[in-house]
Amino acid sequence: MKVWKMNGAGNAFAVFDARSTPFAPTAEQVRQIAADLQADQVIALERDATKDVFMRIWNADGGEVAACGNGARAVAHLILEETGKPMVTIQTEADMLKGFKAEGGLVTVDMGSPLMGWEDIPLAEKMDVRGVDVKIGPMDNPTLSRPAVVSMGNPHAVFFVKDVDAYDIPQLGPLVEWHPLFPEGTNVGFAQVIDSETIRLRVWERGAGLTKACGTGACAALVCAARAKLTGRKARLVLDGGTLIIDWRENDDHVYMTGPVELEFETVI
């Protein structure tokens, strides 16, 4: 079985080619693979009857998840190179995604439409998703409060802050990740709007912790910022591992994510 170690803007993946050889790791095996290969997510490529490939995803904690934006860009890069097609289709548990080559060796993935109903996130109760009732810290003077929430195939809570580097994210992230309002947990974004076209972002990923980049987190931050009129519908998202361009297009309501992909090495096991 072929294995690729890849990253998208620093978001690290171990990608297993399971199109011919079955790959069904236990949660403990996923945790061991992620530790050995220093991967935020473990991904399996599987055959799909109607799409170019099916992408199965596990977080570093061993839990299977439905979406991973930078992982989709990494898979798109592999399948684009393998097939020579101008566009490839990737099926996930969450949605069908489309991948394209972009200028400068970058890769774009059409992430589909954001989901903004409270039941889509999901939340434990009906609430205005533009600012939900979550507070971290003293009740009368919380450290963080009222994040915007959205689903990009996985749940995201986005706090808009004045200085993203002023927060101890490894301490604060877990307090929000499994807050009772999020029955399936949530990814937690800390977003600093620099200007109408630039957002500085750090993300505590559900099941993976603080990562160098999070593709769906970048999409979520842009959508929430644009809804609040803090930015336009297209912006640069500056993450610890690199920069992503997120474009929430009005014509089809889809979110397009463009950024770098690096193949660190490949091997056969």
Which residues are identified as catalytic? 68, 214
CB 57 within 8 A of CB 65: yes
Closest by CA to 224, choosing from 161, 170, 137, is 161
CA 232 – CA 243 distance, rounded (Å): 17
Closest by CA to 44, choosing from 22, 73, 15, 75, is 15
**What is the rounded end-to-end Cα distance, in angstroms, of the chain?**
5
CA 118 – CA 138 distance, rounded (Å): 26
Q: How far is CA 119 from the centre of its chain?
A: 20
Closest by CA to 227, choosing from 118, 129, 112, 108, is 129
DSSP helix/strand/coil, 40 = coil
Query: HEC states along 94-143?
Result: CCEEEEEECHHHCEEEECCCCECCCCCCCCCCCCCCCCCCCEECCCCCCC
Q: Which residues in 173-189 are b (16+ Cβ under 10 Å) and which e?
A: beebbebebbeebbbbb
